[in-house]
A and B are shown apart, each in its own frame.
Chain A
């Protein structure tokens, strides 16, 4: 069973809304709303009726503390409670025929049953439940002689509300599910990206160490003389230490802003004396910086200071740490003679570029150099994507349907059904009221209001259109005043309900506040007009309570959905950030450990031997030369470092052939099968070489062949 956090939240919210509305309705019908000729019912049934409408409220409270399955079970209980009263009453009426009178209003409240069925089983089952309940309720009304205009109007409005509820429930659950799916996708994308970047960063670290120290030690041993073995031992010890500590993270956990400041201060004073260091932190500055970002920025700041000291000797240099609410900024600035960055491509700025590249490779980090005759400024930034409100990086973002968008496929259907039902009610009203023109004017006002909004559910209507829609809805509300007070309860404020419906639609379409104004003004006008006509306060409240609930409820739903959308985005951004940081740490550590393991397996024993300072015989020196070649192949030959070429290369070097392997198409995807073919083909060429040099190369993408093999005797191409 599915059930992410947002979907669970939606289900809880929906059950909460059902519970609250049921509670409000049962209190209103038991205290304010009266009936002219109520159906005589036993006391136990009346207690059962109240109990059944209290159950969803209790279920809703409990639902806030249980999980997905619990919420589903509680919603099922609420569904059962909402169909029990009508079922028991049907049995009572069938067992004891001849009862007449008005049904309790709550019996016909099919909205709870429709909503809970939609939450538990989905829209299809909810439509069946609604259809069955409608048939039962109308049959019951017919059996007890309650098919009076008032009842017909009420039950039609309930039917329209129920349709809306089913559509809304389905859309909300789908929306929650879509947000959860989007979160999962975004997490996966963020993790994938972080893993790739972390592995690359780890590979670069390993490559640098091998380049700097390990190859140097092996070459020195291979080419050295007994007089140089002391130096070999020293160099090997450096290389062994670098390999051993390769997998030790420079900064293991999130770094507090103060810690970062201390680290930078240390660099400024210890490594580059004379640098003016300062820290500027705003109130509510970001608390902690992810380790990869802090590590990269510290390294880059160190390099920038070194460069500044080298290229701008005597210049005034400053290092400033800015702590901001949405991130940090580290600025290294000198007033020495700068250079024209435009004249040097970004990848040509030497070690600085390498370090800046590393900063840029870390998520949410930026680095830039500005230089002119007035000096050089290196700016390093880390931006807290959680604070800045961005959901996720563009590359990680997955478009999730907003709750309102999720409504769109069903909104038109619900509108059409609702409009047809309201039109039917208008026609029916015209046959029972003294002035038939009034219901006709009502349905025209409702139609005009909907038309004013336009017929594109995805588009938010313009303010002008929305105001026109609200104005027509208010006209529908005001029609109550035109009717005869005697007829007031006859159609129970049909116009007001219809007006509230169209305002609910306007709210869903993205204009909740204009809708709220329309409902508020409409209710105020109709209440004032009714009071002026001498309608009792009880009647006014009982007629206008429903449109008020529809209007306020729909606005509340829209605002809650918007809040949910923001909350989901925040949660997603937090989760994505956390997942990315975790994935980065894990992947970098795993990659480094793997490289340490491989390096150790390959050279650990040899390095230990060199560190010991034991005299090297010819065999040991040859072994060092072979190892140096194998390591060089691993990095420069990259994908060519595979069997059978590894063995062939080793044999060739042992017989004195100078083998060089180049993978000069590093970004070009080549299948494993083809790489195996290339390695096999190159091995054959290499086996035939007895002396001199041999160069095997994977060619850049735009060349006539895929690979080349050249010795002093021949040169051939591999074309696949």
Chain B
């Protein structure tokens, strides 16, 4: 609820409403472009499930977290979220993240990068050495400008790397509900050869 003040402090943003659960949100709050979701809601629901429902509802999602549990951050990183922001970050940082997300931009934070960087599954992900390097630098707390300077790249290139990291991570944990889907996913990701004609 303290977020309301933050949102209302930015003229480009409009606060639509708040709810204690996703169902409540759908019932009581009107259409929204962006939902700022608490990683753990009091109703015991799972963050990933909540993100999926909100995305289905049509809004983008940014997640607020206490930030001390990499497992939970990894879990929600698998879902289609624009970013994960620590609740205890300076209000200006949180507001900047909300504003960026409202514009449809994704947000990379040290908490997010550190959680992915230490995920055992990332070792097998099809990331380039440069992408791993970008992720590790972000995980160490460097911002986009610092990473760009250090690697002698432009910030746009860094953003491209981050987008790909996000997509690859999302893909390696994308659920496949049936064997067919699992096969299709393998084909999409280039792990399996595609069917050939004839």
Q: Which residues of A contact B (CB under 8 A)?
A: 207, 210-212, 215-216, 219-220, 222-225, 228, 231, 306, 310-311, 337, 339-340, 342-345, 347-348, 350-351, 354, 373, 625, 628-629, 632, 635-636, 658, 660, 662, 664, 693-697, 699-700, 703, 708, 710-712, 715
Closest B residue to A343 by beta carbon equals: B176
Is B197 engaged at the interface, CB distance under 8 Å to the other chain? no
Q: Are A207 and B140 in contact (CB under 8 A)?
A: no
Alpha-carbon distance between A216 and B65 when the two chains are bound, in angstroms: 10
- Residues of chain B contacted by A343 (CB below 8 angstroms): 175-177, 181-182, 185
Is B121 engaged at the interface, CB distance under 8 Å to the other chain? yes
Q: Are B46 and A340 in contact (CB under 8 A)?
A: no
Is B190 engaged at the interface, CB distance under 8 Å to the other chain? no
Chain B residues 155-198 with CB under 8 Å of chain A are: 173, 175-179, 181-182, 185
- Residues of chain A contacted by B111 (CB below 8 angstroms): 660
Question: Which one of A625, A658, A695, A696 lies within 8 Å of B93 (CB-CB)?
Answer: A658
Alpha-carbon distance between A393 and B173 when the two chains are bound, in angstroms: 34
Is B128 engaged at the interface, CB distance under 8 Å to the other chain? no
Q: Are B2 and A340 in contact (CB under 8 A)?
A: no
Known contacts A306-B44, A345-B121; A340 and B143 CB within 8 A of each other: no
- Residues of chain A contacted by B136 (CB below 8 angstroms): 703
Alpha-carbon distance between A383 and B71 when the two chains are bound, in angstroms: 30
Q: Are B46 and A351 in contact (CB under 8 A)?
A: yes
Alpha-carbon distance between A340 and B91 when the two chains are bound, in angstroms: 41
- Residues of chain A contacted by B2 (CB below 8 angstroms): 220, 223-225, 228
Q: Are B179 and A340 in contact (CB under 8 A)?
A: yes
Alpha-carbon distance between A91 and B69 when the two chains are bound, in angstroms: 88
Q: Are A693 and B141 in contact (CB under 8 A)?
A: yes
Could you pull out 27 A-B pairs where Cβ atoms are within 8 angstroms?
Answer: A211-B66, A215-B66, A215-B68, A215-B87, A219-B66, A225-B5, A310-B45, A340-B182, A343-B177, A343-B181, A350-B48, A628-B88, A632-B88, A660-B67, A660-B110, A660-B111, A662-B110, A662-B139, A693-B90, A694-B141, A695-B110, A697-B141, A699-B140, A700-B117, A700-B118, A710-B141, A715-B137
- Residues of chain B contacted by A636 (CB below 8 angstroms): 67-70
- Residues of chain B contacted by A211 (CB below 8 angstroms): 40, 66, 68-69
Known contacts A228-B1, A228-B2; A712 and B114 CB within 8 A of each other: no
Closest A residue to B40 by beta carbon equals: A212
- Minimum C-beta distance from A646 to chain B (A): 16
- Residues of chain A contacted by B130 (CB below 8 angstroms): none
- Residues of chain A contacted by B91 (CB below 8 angstroms): 223
Closest B residue to A348 by beta carbon equals: B173
- Residues of chain B contacted by A351 (CB below 8 angstroms): 46
Q: Are A632 and B68 in contact (CB under 8 A)?
A: yes
Q: Are B117 and A710 in contact (CB under 8 A)?
A: no
Is B86 engaged at the interface, CB distance under 8 Å to the other chain? yes
Q: Are A348 and B88 in contact (CB under 8 A)?
A: no
Q: Are B182 and A632 in contact (CB under 8 A)?
A: no
Q: Are B142 and A710 in contact (CB under 8 A)?
A: yes
Alpha-carbon distance between A566 and B80 when the two chains are bound, in angstroms: 59
Instruction: Report the interface size for chain B: residues with CB under 8 A from the other chain.
Output: 48
Known contacts A224-B2, A350-B75, A708-B140; A216 and B48 CB within 8 A of each other: no
Contacts A344-B173, A711-B141 known; 6 new A-B pairs at CB < 8 A: A220-B2, A340-B182, A343-B181, A348-B78, A660-B67, A708-B140
Q: Are B140 and A715 in contact (CB under 8 A)?
A: yes
6 A-B pairs with the lowest CB-CB distances in the bound complex, closest first = A695-B141, A636-B68, A710-B141, A343-B176, A708-B140, A635-B68
- Residues of chain B contacted by A345 (CB below 8 angstroms): 121, 173
> How would residues 66 to 108 of chain B score, 1 for a CB under 8 Å from any chain A CB and 0 otherwise?
1111110001001000000011111101000000000000000
Q: Are A664 and B114 in contact (CB under 8 A)?
A: yes
Is B49 engaged at the interface, CB distance under 8 Å to the other chain? yes
Is B28 engaged at the interface, CB distance under 8 Å to the other chain? no
Is B146 engaged at the interface, CB distance under 8 Å to the other chain? yes
- Minimum C-beta distance from B10 to chain A (A): 17
Alpha-carbon distance between A221 and B46 when the two chains are bound, in angstroms: 25
- Minimum C-beta distance from B59 to chain A (A): 21
- Residues of chain A contacted by B70 (CB below 8 angstroms): 636, 664
- Minimum C-beta distance from A682 to chain B (A): 12
- Minimum C-beta distance from A540 to chain B (A): 79
Alpha-carbon distance between A681 and B166 when the two chains are bound, in angstroms: 33
Alpha-carbon distance between A350 and B78 when the two chains are bound, in angstroms: 11
- Residues of chain A contacted by B78 (CB below 8 angstroms): 348
Chain B residues 38-68 with CB under 8 Å of chain A are: 40, 44-46, 48-49, 66-68
- Minimum C-beta distance from B87 to chain A (A): 5
Alpha-carbon distance between A310 and B137 when the two chains are bound, in angstroms: 39
Known contacts A340-B182, A697-B139, A710-B142; A660 and B86 CB within 8 A of each other: yes
Known contacts A345-B121, A629-B88; A350 and B46 CB within 8 A of each other: yes
Closest A residue to B64 by beta carbon equals: A219
Alpha-carbon distance between A344 and B178 when the two chains are bound, in angstroms: 11
- Minimum C-beta distance from A434 to chain B (A): 87
Question: Which one of B45, B69, B86, B175 lies within 8 Å of A339 (CB-CB)?
Answer: B175
- Residues of chain A contacted by B5 (CB below 8 angstroms): 225
Alpha-carbon distance between A693 and B88 when the two chains are bound, in angstroms: 12
Alpha-carbon distance between A224 and B6 when the two chains are bound, in angstroms: 11
- Minimum C-beta distance from A311 to chain B (A): 8
Known contacts A223-B2, A223-B91, A343-B182; A697 and B140 CB within 8 A of each other: yes
- Minimum C-beta distance from A9 to chain B (A): 50
Q: Are A231 and B88 in contact (CB under 8 A)?
A: no
- Residues of chain A contacted by B143 (CB below 8 angstroms): 712
